[in-house]
Amino acid sequence: MANPRQQKQVGLFSKSLHWLLALLMIGLLALGWVMVQLDYFNPYYDSAPALHYSLGILVFFLVFIKIIWQLAKPLPEHDDRLKKYELYASKIVHFILLLFMIMMPISGYLVITAGTNDASFFGLFDLPTLFKISKPVRDAATFFHTYFPFILVGFIVVHILAALKHKLIDKMQTARDMWPK
């Protein structure tokens, strides 16, 4: 008979989305910090921001798909072997990470469309300016996009350390294990 725990593992599509988004988010943080340091004569002065905007917009689309997919096919229940505080901590951290995956593209979009709006999605289409935003909203978006990534990095570090602890120290394969088989 099949092991009941194995029947409720995270599906391949959800796992793939998790890893794709994780790589994109970590890559975009690095790219964001590198691109704002580039001077005008650097050969990547134009291409680095263009890649940042395109990948950021891709995150927005993928998060949308992720949310729809998770509503249609919810992840397995959390593991009953987790301690109560671990359960609540992981729920809070996952929620905050998800919020960042939504807010970073939105704030980036607002920063771009309030300015010169030279962003395109891999040259396929230009970002439309959907709203005329006031200066305080633009300033808030710029503040968020510039300073909140430091908080995001903190949550990502906690998240990775917790995942590694379950895997390597507790040697626990949780019901929501994201590791490739």
Footprint of ligand HEM (CB under 6 A): 18, 22, 25-26, 28-29, 32-33, 36, 52-53, 56-57, 59, 75, 90, 94, 97-98, 101, 104-105, 108-109, 111-112, 119, 142, 145-146, 149, 156, 159-160, 163, 174, 176-178
Is residue 57 within 8 A of residue 126, CB to CB? The reply is: no
Is residue 130 within 8 A of residue 57, CB to CB? The reply is: no
Q: How far is the CB of 135 from ligand HEM (least distance, A)?
A: 15
Q: How far is the CB of 41 from ligand HEM (least distance, A)?
A: 19
Q: Which is nearer to ligand HEM, 92 or 134 (CB)?
A: 92
Q: Which amino acid is at 64?
A: F
Q: How far is the CB of 33 from ligand HEM (least distance, A)?
A: 5
Q: How far is the CB of 50 from ligand HEM (least distance, A)?
A: 10
**Sign of the Cα pseudo-torsion (14, 16, 22, 27, in order):** negative
Q: How far is the CB of 165 from ligand HEM (least distance, A)?
A: 10
**DSSP run (H or E) holding 126:** strand 125-126
Q: Single out the residue of 57, 30, 23 nearest to residue 149, CA to CA.
A: 30
Angle between helices 12-35 and 84-114 in degrees, nearest 10: 50
Q: Which is nearer to ligand HEM, 67 or 134 (CB)?
A: 67
Q: Which is nearer to ligand HEM, 16 or 43 (CB)?
A: 16
CA 131 – CA 138 distance, rounded (Å): 11
Q: Which is nearer to ligand HEM, 42 or 146 (CB)?
A: 146
How does strand 125-126 pair with strand 120-121?
Answer: antiparallel
